[in-house]
A and B are shown apart, each in its own frame.
Chain A
Amino acid sequence: MSTRVKFAIGVAIILGTIGWLGWVGASQSKTYYHTISELQTLNGAKRHQRMRVSGNVRTGSIQHRDGRVDFVLEEQGQQLNVSYVGRDPLPDTFKDGAQALVEGRDTDDGRFVAEQVQAKCASKYAAAQPKQSSLSSPEETPSQTSGQASPQSMQASAGAPRS
Chain B
Amino acid sequence: MDIFGSFALLLALAVTAYAAVAGTAGILTRKPLLTRSARNAGMAIFPLVTLAVIALEYLFFTNNFSMAYVAEHSNRDLPYFYKFAALWSGQEGSLLFWSWLLSIYSFLALWVNRRKHPELMPYVGVTLACVQSFFLILNNWVASPFNVIAAAAAPGGVMHLVARADGTGLNPLLQYWEMVIHPPLLYLGYTGFSVPFAFGMAALLGRYPGEKWIHITRRWTMIAWGFLGCGVLLGAHWAYSVLGWGGYWGWDPVENAALLPWITGTAFLHSVMMQEKRGMMRVWNIWLIFVTFLLSILGTMLTRSGVVSSVHAFAQSSIGSWFVGFLIISTVFCALAYWRNRDYLRSDNRLDAMVSRESSFLFNNLVLLAACFAVLWGTLFPVLSEWATGEKISVGAPFFNRVNVPIALFLLFLTGVGPLLAWRRTSLDSLRRNFTWPVVGGVIAAVVAFVFGFRDFYSAMCLFLGVFVTLTIASEFYRGARVISDKSHGNIFSAAVQLTRRNTRRYGGYIVHFGMVLIFIGVAGQPFNKDAQKDMPPGSQMAIGPYTLVCQNFDSVEKGNYQADRATIEVLRNGRSEMILYPERRFYPASQVTGTIVAIRSTPLRDLYVVFAGRSPETGQPVIHAYLNPLVKFIWFGGIIVALGTLLGLMPNSQAAPAERAVTAGALLPREAQGA
Contact surface of A with B, Cβ cutoff 8 Å: 3-4, 6-7, 10-11, 14-15, 17-18, 21-22, 24-26, 28-33, 52, 64, 69, 87-90, 92, 121, 124, 129, 132-144, 146-148, 150-157, 160-163
Contacts and interface: CB of A to CB of B under 8 A. Distances in A.
B310 interface: yes
Given A52-B394, A162-B397, 12 more contacts: A14-B367, A22-B403, A28-B399, A33-B382, A133-B147, A141-B72, A141-B168, A147-B596, A148-B613, A153-B253, A153-B310, A154-B252
B617 A163 contact: no
A11 B370 CA distance: 11
Contacts of A26: 378, 381, 395, 399
A42 to B, nearest CB: 11
B243 A150 contact: yes
Centre residue among B378, B396, B614 by max chain A CB count within 10 A: B396
Interface string B518-535: 000000001101010100
Given A92-B614, A133-B150, A151-B250, A138 B72 contact: yes
A129 B150 CA distance: 12
Nearest to B367: A14
Given A33-B382, A150-B245, A153-B397, A132 B159 contact: yes
Contacts of B245: 150, 154-157
B211 interface: no
Given A7-B354, A154-B239, A32 B392 contact: yes
B402 to A, nearest CB: 3
Nearest to A69: B617
Interface string B603-644: 000000001011111100001010000000000000000000
B396 A153 contact: yes
A96 to B, nearest CB: 13
B393 A31 contact: yes
Contacts of B592: 121, 124, 142
Interface string B386-420: 00000111111111111100110010000000000
20 contacts: A3-B351, A10-B363, A14-B410, A18-B406, A28-B399, A29-B395, A31-B395, A88-B533, A121-B592, A135-B147, A135-B150, A138-B168, A139-B315, A142-B171, A148-B594, A148-B596, A153-B396, A156-B246, A160-B396, A163-B527
Contacts of B374: 18, 22
Interface string B252-290: 110000000000000000000000000000000000000
Contacts of B354: 3, 6-7, 10
A130 to B, nearest CB: 10
A21 B47 CA distance: 51
Interface of B: 68, 71-72, 90-91, 144, 147, 149-152, 159, 168-169, 171-173, 239, 242-247, 250-253, 309-311, 313-315, 351-354, 359, 362-363, 366-367, 370, 374, 377-378, 381-382, 391-403, 406-407, 410, 526-527, 529, 531, 533, 585-586, 591-596, 611, 613-618, 623, 625
B68 A33 contact: no
Contacts of A155: 245
A102 B382 CA distance: 17
A5 to B, nearest CB: 10
A138 to B, nearest CB: 6
Contacts of A64: 617-618
Contacts, number: 209
Contact of B402 (A24, A132, A135): A24
A140 B527 CA distance: 35
A18 B121 CA distance: 41
Contacts of B586: 147
A147 B315 contact: no
Contacts of A52: 394
Contacts of A156: 245-247, 250, 397
Contacts of B402: 21-22, 24-25, 28, 163
B307 to A, nearest CB: 14
A64 B616 CA distance: 10
Contacts of B351: 3-4, 7
B407 A33 contact: no
B395 A30 contact: yes
Contacts of A148: 244, 585, 594, 596, 611, 613-614
A141 to B, nearest CB: 5
B398 A28 contact: yes
A26 B378 CA distance: 8
Nearest to A101: B309
Given A32-B393, A136-B71, A146 B594 contact: yes
Contacts of A22: 374, 377, 399, 402-403
Contact of B250 (A7, A87, A132, A153): A153
Nearest to B396: A29
Nearest to B623: A89
B623 to A, nearest CB: 5
A139 B313 CA distance: 9
Given A4-B351, A140-B90, A153 B251 contact: yes
A126 to B, nearest CB: 13
A163 B403 CA distance: 12
A30 B393 contact: yes
B618 A147 contact: no
Contact of B150 (A30, A132, A142, A150): A132
Nearest to B386: A33
Contacts of A14: 363, 366-367, 370, 410
Contacts of B395: 25-26, 29-31
Nearest to A18: B370
A143 B159 contact: no
Contact of B594 (A134, A143, A147): A147
Nearest to B356: A3
